[in-house]
Amino acid sequence: MRILHLYYSSTGNTQKVAETIDNTLDNLGHRVDSISVGKNTEAVDVLDYDWVFVGSGVYEWLPGKSMQDLFGKLRRKYVEDGEIKPGSPKRPDKKAVVYCTYGGVHTGINEAVPAVKYMAQLFDHLGFLILDEWYVVGEYVPEKMAPFSEKGRMGDIRGRPDAHDLNAVTERVKAILNV
């Protein structure tokens, strides 16, 4: 089973979740190709993999710019190669889990949903089964935004994701692999 993990983290929260996912997979005996997406990340061939985990922090309702750029490259490549087909026929045995970390200060989870749906669409277009979507709360790190972590729609989210959040991620990784 080949597993790919693509993630983007600007202020470190998604990085914590990503490391938890990787460590859990590792402890379960799986090898995972884990890529921290940056400005110049090349278009990795996601079709080489049976399982993909993909995650990002949410910024202005969407995944990070580097992630959007990578997804743009991949979408164009797979359209050109004829791998994105009308009707998006399912590819048996190809599965994706899409996740984000988000702060939700204004409208709660609603302002994170577009980011997850955005990332899921590439895999849906390619015929992957989107097995699950995970929304993990992450505090606002930049100093000028830090007050958002105390009084938003999600309540006091300082220090999130915390040990409890990361433990929940571990449990979800273990559970999803049995699907």
Ligand X SMILES: Cc1cc2nc3c(=O)[nH]c(=O)nc-3n(C[C@H](O)[C@H](O)[C@H](O)COP(=O)(O)O)c2cc1C
Chain contacts with ligand X (rule: CB under 6 A) = 9-15, 57-61, 101-104, 111-112, 138-142, 145
Of the two residues 12 and 147, which places its CB atom closer to ligand X in the complex? Answer: 12
36 contacts 15 by C-beta, under 8 angstroms = yes
Q: Cβ-count burial of 128 within 10 angstroms (0-12 exposed, 13-18 middle, 19+ buried)?
A: buried
Of the two residues 78 and 111, which places its CB atom closer to ligand X in the complex? Answer: 111
- Smallest separation (angstroms) from ligand X to the CB of 64: 7
- Smallest separation (angstroms) from ligand X to the CB of 17: 8
Nearest to 63 by CA among 111, 100, 19, 11: 100
Single-letter code of the amino acid located at 42? E
- Smallest separation (angstroms) from ligand X to the CB of 169: 13
Of the two residues 90 and 106, which places its CB atom closer to ligand X in the complex? Answer: 106
Quote the CA–CA distance of 78 and 83 in Å, as a whole number. 5
Of the two residues 37 and 126, which places its CB atom closer to ligand X in the complex? Answer: 37
3-class DSSP assignment, residue 105: coil
111 contacts 135 by C-beta, under 8 angstroms = no
Q: Give the DSSP letter string of 144-166.
A: GGTTHHHHBTTB--TT-S-HHHH
Of the two residues 130 and 141, which places its CB atom closer to ligand X in the complex? Answer: 141
- Smallest separation (angstroms) from ligand X to the CB of 151: 14
- Smallest separation (angstroms) from ligand X to the CB of 49: 22
